[in-house]
Structure 1
Amino acid sequence: MSTHTNETTGAEATTRHTADPGHGTEAQQSRAATRGAWLQVARREVLVKLTDKGFLISTVVTVLLIGAVLAIQGFMQNRTSTFDVVTTDSTAAAMVDRIADRAPDIDDKVAVKAGTEADAAAARVAVQDEKADAWLQRTDSGWTLVTKDTADSDLSTVVSTVVRETALADNASKAGTTMAALQAGTTVTAQQLDGNAERSGLVTALGFIFAILFYLASIMFGMTLASSVVEEKQSRIVEMIAAAIPLRQLLAGKIIGNTVLAFGQMALYVGVGLVGMSFTDYGKYVAGLSGSIGWFLAFFLVGFVALACLWAVAGALASRTEDIQSTSMPITMLMMLMYFGALFLDGTARAIGSFIPPVSSILMPMRVLAGEVSWWEPALALLLLVAFAVGLILVSERIYRRALLQTGGKLSVKDAWRTQE
């Protein structure tokens, strides 16, 4: 009897299941939609930012500034400056003529045009009224270059060099020798074992630019992410979102959306910078720097994801927008440590720091740029940074889920960790 009843019940269950073929399909569709919720959240984060006039204007202005700085740099590097130098006597006039002849050999960006004035007073007035750039006069101790303001460094260098050469030649002639004999053994040639001085200067400047770009992008997008989280929490919108999708999906969408924006903006800035640099005297280094810039973008991507998790947690711990300043203070201090550590660490400390996350996200690309590392070092540092980011994601996800729906006031990390979901 019991067996018959069980069989009947099983048959009825089978019949009901067959009669409602859409039951399982709807559940599967619901689970699939929930699993893909992060994509919708990420898309919303990106679209909201791309329709924000402030964000678009700041991006365009930054791109224009980068282009303008590089355009000015290229113009100044290719521009020849002409200086009008006046004299009041034949001796000084002969010296200025020699300066004009030698100037292109000393500095091809400097040209000197000679002029004459009737007397010292007229020469002084010409310089004061900016009709002439300088007045060269002979004195008892040598020569004086008179200018209205601080003398141009390029002009001063050319004048000093020619005056020194002329004086040495005259003195050598009086001593019955030659200038070449007097100067024998006095030449000092600078030799750099790694690279050259021009490239080293460029590398130093780019390292600083990488550090400041990482810092500014992390602060700007991080604060935006934290503000977004706390605004949804304060307005109770997050409670409705939590009823529709898992909170980990919400967190993933926010982090991915802001990462896409930050990385896209950074790639744009770097691309504009490289194109602009190609029109300057540094253009010959662009091809060689492309690999280093690729490492910078890779470290930026992973490092930003790790820090974005912390910014999301800072927003979840706050109960009001005003609380963000205190909940994000540890992150701000970490960013300052990363920035100044990258700039001022040197020697062994610099080498060790380039492997320690998250400082490595700034420091290792700088070392790659400077040519201080073997091929395996950035790869290892990136793997360590990825492992750090994964661990941080797991920890942040737990704190985020437990703190986001708590509205009783600002939470500490310890309280959020212990709070029951």
Structure 2
Amino acid sequence: MSTATHTPTEPAASRRSGPASPSLTQSIGLVAEREVKMRLRSKTFLISTGILLLVILAGIVVGGFLAKNTATETTKIAVVGSAGSGLTEGSAGKFDVSGVPDRAAAEALVKAGDVKAAIVPSDTNATGFELIFATEADPALVTSLSVQPEVTILDPGSDGSAGFLLYIVSLGFGLVFFVSATTFGASIAQSVVEEKQTRVVEILMSAIPVRALLAGKVLGNSILAFAQIIAIAALSVIGLTVTGQTELLAGIGLPVVWFVVFFVLGFILLAALFAAAGSLVSRQEDIGSTTTPITMLIMIPYFAVIFFNDNPLVMTIMSYVPFSAAVGMPVRLFVGSAQWWEPLLSLIILAATAAFVIWIGSRIYENSLLKMGGRVKISEALKG
């Protein structure tokens, strides 16, 4: 007598071979985590970050010594009517205030060098005050007012202590932007080329979508870049506080916040360009031919802010150009030459440009990633 043996039917899910594919969000997170770990294991990244922090710290210490040398000096200013009420209570003992009858008399004293600046009433500015300088604005005096006034320069173009301070601040913004953008941008491009050259990208594309691979690379390097910027900002705040440069800290606080905001969008824009540039070639030796134009876009704001930080026209143009807005606008905010609405308008322009560049860059990246051999033409990459 035979007995029938019944084998239990396995659920459909248990008969599926292999693990389930990760979702788009999980794929982006995995790629981003891989990028972060790779950068943190890189000695070049750690050394360059350390050098950058040391340079920033050295600049703060030098500024502290200069501030102590001039701390005991009182600044002569002329005031028309009740315009002097704009001075904060804590700054009263730092200025030798002289009352004058009208704006013309105040400008005459400023031009003659008898006073450092003049505070006059203003009907065109919402604060009701206007600050007049002879050749250059003094950021310390600008920040000593309870509200941000309109700043007028009678005869732009000479050097001095305020000019040196402006140069140091401009150099700081330019250096941080240049080093961070080039370091992490180049890392993205090299990573893309390495994956193409070793054919790892083919394995990755079989497991995750191409857009997740691009987004993960941008996200991972962006996290590190933002962490570096935050570390620099924290070091600056601590250094300025310890060295007693509280006035400079108050004046540079708002520009630093805007710098971080602009850098976030600006770096994402550049990261998409570097990823696209890396996908156009298949060898590390050829990467310079595609990334050099992007590097030039980063170098132009760096050198422009060094040589033209005291040129109002150049700085105004820089503050609206997407590739230089992260440097130009904070410098203008530091000297008080930008109106309250200008950073918002510049940020909108940068965001719109970043969205367009990311769309173009992702298209080039997706269409060039599997093309091996010689350099892929941009026209071919756009056509797919």
TM-score after normalising by structure 2: 0.69
Paired position in structure 1 for 2:343 = 378
Q: What amino acid does structure 1 have at the position aligned with 2:293?
A: P
Q: What amino acid does structure 2 have at the position aligned with 1:332?
A: T
Return closer, same or farther for 1:194/1:319 CA change in 2, 3 Å cut-off: farther
Deviation at 1:309?
A: 0.7
Return closer, same or farther for 1:351/1:34 CA change in 2, 3 Å cut-off: closer
Deviation at 1:26?
A: 10
Tell me which of 389, 411, 416 is aligned to 2:376.
411
Q: Could you say which structure has the higher helix fraction?
A: 1
Paired position in structure 1 for 2:79 = none
Tell me which of 284, 303, 316 is aligned to 1:321.
284
Per-residue CA deviation, residues 179-213 of structure 1 (Å, 9 max, x unaligned), is xxxxxxx9833325358636344344212210121
Q: Which one has a bigger Cα radius of gyration?
A: 1
Matches within 5 A, 1:334-413: 334-343=297-306, 344=308, 346-413=311-378
Q: State the distance in 2 between where 1:221 and 1:187 align.
A: 48
Per-residue CA deviation, residues 30-58 of structure 1 (Å, 9 max, x unaligned), is 46534420111111111111222332233
**369-378 or 230-239: which moved more?**
369-378
Partner of 2:23, secondary structure, is helix
Tell me which of 144, 149, 168 is aligned to 1:205.
168
Deviation at 1:383?
A: 1.6
Residues 279, 369 of structure 2: 8 Å contact kept: yes
Return closer, same or farther for 1:69/1:361 CA change in 2, 3 Å cut-off: closer
Q: What amino acid does structure 1 have at the position aligned with 2:230?
A: A
Deviation at 1:290?
A: 1.4
Paired position in structure 2 for 1:255 = 218
Q: State the distance in 2 between where 1:252 and 1:70 align.
A: 36
Deviation at 1:59?
A: 2.2
Tell me which of 111, 115, 135 is aligned to 1:189.
115
Deviation at 1:23?
A: 8.5
Matches within 5 A, 1:103-114: none
Q: State the distance in 2 between where 1:382 and 1:24 align.
A: 53
Deviation at 1:293?
A: 0.7
Per-residue CA deviation, residues 2-51 of structure 1 (Å, 9 max, x unaligned), is xxxxxxxxxxxxxxxx9856389999x94653442011111111111122
Query: Cα RMSD between the aligned structures?
Result: 3.1
Partner of 1:217, secondary structure, is helix
Paired position in structure 1 for 2:265 = 302
Paired position in structure 2 for 1:53 = 43
Q: Which structure 2 residue ranges, 5 or more long, are not aligned?
A: 1-8, 75-111, 119-130, 141-161
Residues 342, 359 of structure 1: 8 Å contact kept: no
Paired position in structure 1 for 2:199 = 236
Q: Give % identity.
A: 37
Return closer, same or farther for 1:191/1:77 CA change in 2, 3 Å cut-off: closer
Q: What amino acid does structure 2 have at the position aligned with 1:395?
A: I
Return closer, same or farther for 1:64/1:334 CA change in 2, 3 Å cut-off: closer
Residues 31, 217 of structure 2: 8 Å contact kept: yes
- How many residues align? The count is 299
Q: What amino acid does structure 2 have at the position aligned with 1:226?
A: A
Q: State the distance in 2 between where 1:341 and 1:297 align.
A: 19
Residues 274, 294 of structure 2: 8 Å contact kept: yes
Deviation at 1:60?
A: 2.9
Q: State the distance in 2 between where 1:79 and 1:212 align.
A: 26
